């Protein structure tokens, strides 16, 4: 699968993202959602990223993933994280976003109160 290169998206290998997240270490998990876990990672160039590892339980096919990447690559807003790239390596589907150091919008809108 190749998404149009002029969109500025980088195609990562699974090995690159595996390394960037410290072998998908639990200590690098920064969130989770309906589609899988999100890991903090550092690319070879030193850039900090958030890597969403898409859950295979959703069984998203190659075409659906390609459409999702295409749509996300077109979103440009200060309210959305930028999509830097993706990986579609055999059964692994991952999205690579810019990293938001202070947490996501949901954590700020709905803080977990400690009792």
> 28 Cβ partners below 8 Å, 6+ apart?
21, 22, 39, 40, 41
- φ/ψ of 79, rounded to 5, equals -95, -5
Is position 48 annotated in a ligand binding site? no
Angle among Cα 54, 59, 63 to the nearest 5 degrees reads 90
**Angstrom distance (rounded) from CA 40 to CA 14:** 15
Binding residues: 52
Binding residues for ATP: 52
């Amino acid at each position: 699968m190749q998404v149009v290169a002029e969109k500025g998206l980088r195609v990562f290998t699974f090995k690159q993202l595996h390394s960037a997240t410290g072998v998908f270490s639990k200590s690098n998990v920064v969130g989770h959602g309906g589609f899988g876990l999100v890991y903090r990672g550092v690319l070879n160039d030193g850039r900090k990223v958030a890597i969403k590892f898409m859950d295979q339980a959703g069984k998203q096919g190659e075409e659906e993933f390609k459409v999702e990447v295409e749509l996300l690559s077109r979103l440009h807003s200060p309210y959305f994280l930028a999509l830097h790239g993706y990986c579609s390596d055999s059964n692994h589907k991952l999205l690579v976003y810019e990293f938001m150091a202070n947490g996501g919008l949901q954590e700020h809108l709905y803080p977990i109160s400690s009792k």
